[in-house]
């Protein structure tokens, strides 16, 4: 019952959430219908919108709203471990994303059948990569929401990731010839949401490996999946610690 209510709440907490899902699905449909993309183009579009922008929209203020309204003071006086509050909310977001991606697959499947153009090959891997990326971004955004007020967690995350993307690309081009560049780039790259790794996992590096899952090396594929799951868990643990340690003051003298 508790899990069900907390998961359900992630969908019902704001009136616009169902609209976000509808708009995103409409975007996929429009992109497919207007541009007749190949599988990789569509995969990358789906990956970006459902893996990065969707969690930002769905997790905006996931804890910040409660903190701003004072609702959190009642929630954290209930007799259960505060971590459960975090876990079930993240699970709620993750389940929404899973259903969202299944609906997206269904929609594209219908469009493909009706229009008889484009390719659905590899869509499954893109869906999986999108869901994994969604989870890492949602965990990061949810953890940020414990300390950032209202819905600013999504905005902050967007700005940080966009800036980080530019900085990493600049450093990559600058340090390309340097001996320690690889180690340095790994240090920068791996703790952050795995945009590159998961897009390679879904897009593939053709004919590079003998033993493959779809179009990517088996070990690397497993590594990518595990890496994203571990990142989700790590971001989640940080959020749970923050939530458990944070003091909430809702009353005014």
Partner 1 sequence: MVLVQPNQESACSEGTRAVVECRQLTKVYKKLLARRTRTVCALREVSLSVHRGQIVGLIGPNGAGKSTLLNLIAGLILPTEGAVTVCGHPARSVRARDGLGYMPEHPAFLGGYSARATLQYHGALLGLSREAIARQVDKSVQQLQMQEFIDRPCCDFSQGMKQRLALATALMNDPQLLLLDEPSNGLDPVGIIQLRDLLKQLRQAGTAIVISSHRLGELEKLTSDYIFMHRGRIITLADQAATGQAGRLRVELVSNGRHVAEALLPASQVLEVSDTELVIAVNDPADVPDIVANLAKGGARITSVLWQKEDIEEVFVRLCQERT
146 makes contact with partner 1 (CB under 8 A): no
| Closest distance of CB 25 from partner 1, Å | 22
Token pair of 163 as six digits:
């800036």
| Closest distance of CB 71 from partner 1, Å | 5
Residues in contact with partner 1, shown as a per-residue x/- string from 234 to 253 under the rule CB under 8 A: -------------xxxxxxx
| Closest distance of CB 78 from partner 1, Å | 5
Q: How far apart are the first and last CA of the chain?
A: 36
Please choose, out of 71-79, 106-114, 194-202, 210-218, the segment that lies near partner 1 by the rule CB under 8 A.
71-79
Binding to partner 1 in span 50-69, by CB under 8 A:
69
| Closest distance of CB 147 from partner 1, Å | 12
| Closest distance of CB 210 from partner 1, Å | 52
Binding to partner 1 in span 14-43, by CB under 8 A:
15
Task: Specify the residue, 77 or 173, whose C-beta has the smaller distance to partner 1.
Answer: 77
Binding to partner 1 in span 80-109, by CB under 8 A:
80-81
Return residues touching partner 1 (CB under 8 A): 1-2, 4-6, 9, 12-13, 15, 69-71, 73-81, 247-253
């Amino acid at each position: 019952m508790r899990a069900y209510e907390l998961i359900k709440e992630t969908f019902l907490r704001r009136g616009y959430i169902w609209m976000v899902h509808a708009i995103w699905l409409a975007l996929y449909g429009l992109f497919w219908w207007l541009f007749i993309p190949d599988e990789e183009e569509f995969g990358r579009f789906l990956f970006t919108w459902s893996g990065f922008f969707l969690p930002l929209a769905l997790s905006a203020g996931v804890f910040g709203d409660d903190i701003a309204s004072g609702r959190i003071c009642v929630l954290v006086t209930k007799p259960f471990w505060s971590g459960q509050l975090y876990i079930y909310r993240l699970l709620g977001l993750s389940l929404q994303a899973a259903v969202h991606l299944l609906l997206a697959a269904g929609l594209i499947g219908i469009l493909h059948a009706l229009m008889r153009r484009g390719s659905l090959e590899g869509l499954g891997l893109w869906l999986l990569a999108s869901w994994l990326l969604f989870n890492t971004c949602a965990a990061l955004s949810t953890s940020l929401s414990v300390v950032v007020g209202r819905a600013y967690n999504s905005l902050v995350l967007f700005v940080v990731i966009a800036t980080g993307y530019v900085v990493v690309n600049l450093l990559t081009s600058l340090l390309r010839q340097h001996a320690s560049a690889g180690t340095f780039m790994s240090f920068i790259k791996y703790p952050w949401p795995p945009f590159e790794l998961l897009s390679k996992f879904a897009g593939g590096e053709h004919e590079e490996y003998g033993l493959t899952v779809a179009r990517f090396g088996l070990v690397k594929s497993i590594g990518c999946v595990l890496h994203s799951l571990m990142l989700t868990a790590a971001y989640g643990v940080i959020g749970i610690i923050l939530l458990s340690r944070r003091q909430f003051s809702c009353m005014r003298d």
